[in-house]
Amino acid sequence: MAKYLLLKHYRGAPAAVNDVPMDQWTPEEVSAHLKYMDDFAKRLERDGEYVGGVALSPEGSFVRYDGEGRPPVTDGPFAETKDLIAGWMVIDVDSYERAVELAGELSAAPGAGGKPIHEWLELRPFLADHADTTE
């Protein structure tokens, strides 16, 4: 089993095929989407492939050290262009192929018009903190 991070972006990823902001959907479409995500996580949990997941607020800041005795610099909460992570899910699966399969499934969550969003999800393998001794 190997762990993978599935990253969902607010901004910074290529545009989704069905790229309509959520507040422009119908309430039923919103509910269907949330249920899909929820069911997906529950199923992974049941199958023993779920590690954890977190939703993040879109209001993020970049922060930088600005010298001794000075407050850190922040770019403020409303920078115009930057990659913004909406949330992540960590899965523990048998193979890279399985991780890709699951990411594809999550990307197919229903959106506007009940059609899949086809959004881009970033898939990042975890690096182990020790050398592999079994091979």
Nearer to other proteins, 24 or 133 (CB): 24
SS3 labels along the chain: CEEEEEEEEEECCCCCCCCCCHHHCCHHHHHHHHHHHHHHHHHHHHHCCEEEEEECCCCCCCEECCCCCCCCEECCCCCCCCCEEEEEEEEEECCHHHHHHHHHHHHCCECHHHCECCCCEEEEECCCCCCCCCC
Q: Is there binding between residue 57 and other proteins (CB under 8 A)? A: yes
Q: Is there binding between residue 55 and other proteins (CB under 8 A)? A: yes
Nearer to other proteins, 34 or 101 (CB): 34
Q: Is there binding between residue 79 and other proteins (CB under 8 A)? A: no
Q: Is there binding between residue 129 and other proteins (CB under 8 A)? A: no
Q: Is there binding between residue 58 and other proteins (CB under 8 A)? A: yes
Which residues, 3 to 42, sit near other proteins by CB under 8 A? 21-27, 29-31, 34-35, 38
Minimum gap (Å) between residue 42 Cβ and other proteins: 11
Given the rule CB under 8 A, which residues bind other proteins?
21-27, 29-31, 34-35, 38, 55, 57-59
